[in-house]
Structure 1
Amino acid sequence: MGICSSSQYTTKADNRLTWPPPTTTKIIYPDGNLQQLSQPIKASVVLSQNPSCFLCNSELMYVNSCLPQVPGDEQLQLDQIYFLMPLSMSQAPLSLEELCSLAIKAGAALSRLNEAYSHKEVCISGLLQLQLIKNVVKHHPIGII
């Protein structure tokens, strides 16, 4: 699609192809760092290590809406991207500028992943940015372009 092509195979460090590609839960921290989890875990595990933050699923972020918090007892899903957000942002509606900033932060974090999987992640980064832009357009009637 568009600027990236997809592949059903990935290359490991020893040049062997694997199928299917490994899936991970991705958590983007306030400082832009990215954590990948290969096994599903409860949100409370991440939150216990970051008591001044909450988790938000990237697919549920909309301009002029408060960020929905992932409950502590909810299992984080593989192939999902979550943002770890400061608690100070939990009650304020998300601005267009903040959403765009998060999309840029996610793109930068995903592009820094392991070289063996960089092509796949660049595509995911583009898809995340597209999803966030769709959310903006859907909930911002005058448009942004």
Structure 2
Amino acid sequence: MGICASSQYISQGGIALKWPSTAKIIHLDGTLQELKHPIKAEQILSQNLGCFLCSSESMYINSHIPFIPQNEELKLGQIYFLMPLSRSHQTLSLHDLCTLAIKAHAALTH
């Protein structure tokens, strides 16, 4: 899918300050959860039963959605999607990826 979280800057008195990078999780209902510190995927999954996590960087048309292993640490600067387990064996269509991109855009701009 290739949705990248680019570094964001603000200007304060002519000096550019970098905002701290966060791991961003887009929930099923489109809400955004930002994590300031890396945590294991299992911490998110334990609060969202019946779901799995996937990285926006590893989603491609006509391929299965790759799971983030429960023991993997979520990386700052990455965007992750919570997906229902029922989608775990389906391939992603162009329509699916566009829908996820729209959901991410809406969550990131609010």
The TM-score with structure 1 as length reference comes to 0.66
Alpha-carbon separation, structure 1, partners of 2:38 and 2:74: 6
1:63-74 equivalences in 2 (<5 Å): 63-74=61-72
Alpha-carbon separation, structure 1, partners of 2:32 and 2:78: 13
Alpha-carbon separation, structure 2, partners of 1:25 and 1:50: 17
Aligned partner (choices 40, 45, 54) of residue 38 of structure 2: 40
Whether 1:89 aligns to 2:48 is no
1:25, CA displacement in angstroms? 0.3
Aligned residues: 104
Alpha-carbon separation, structure 2, partners of 1:55 and 1:76: 10
* Amino acid of the structure 2 residue aligned with 1:83: F
Identity %: 58
Which one has the largest radius of gyration? 1
4+ residue segments displaced more than 4 Å:
none
1:95, CA displacement in angstroms? 1.2
- Give the 3-state SS of the residue equivalent to 1:82 in structure 2: strand
**Residues 100, 11 of structure 1: alpha-carbon distance in 2 compared, 3 angstrom cutoff:** same
| Corresponding residue number in structure 1 for 2:10 | 10
1:7, CA displacement in angstroms? 8.3
After superposition, the C-alpha distances for 1:3-41 in whole angstroms (9 at most, x for unaligned) are xxx9874269xx9x7733111000001111000000000
Alpha-carbon separation, structure 1, partners of 2:7 and 2:25: 24
Unaligned runs of 5+ in 1: 1-5, 113-145
Greater percentage in helix? 1
* Amino acid of the structure 2 residue aligned with 1:10: I
| Corresponding residue number in structure 2 for 1:101 | 99
Unaligned runs of 5+ in 2: 1-5
The TM-score with structure 2 as length reference comes to 0.86
Structure 1 vs Structure 2 CA RMSD: 2.2
1:51, CA displacement in angstroms? 1.4
Task: Using CA pairs under 8 Å that are at least 6 residues apart, name the structure with larger relative contact order, 1 or 2.
Answer: 2
Aligned partner (choices 49, 56, 59) of residue 58 of structure 1: 56
* Amino acid of the structure 1 residue aligned with 2:67: Q
Alpha-carbon separation, structure 1, partners of 2:8 and 2:24: 20
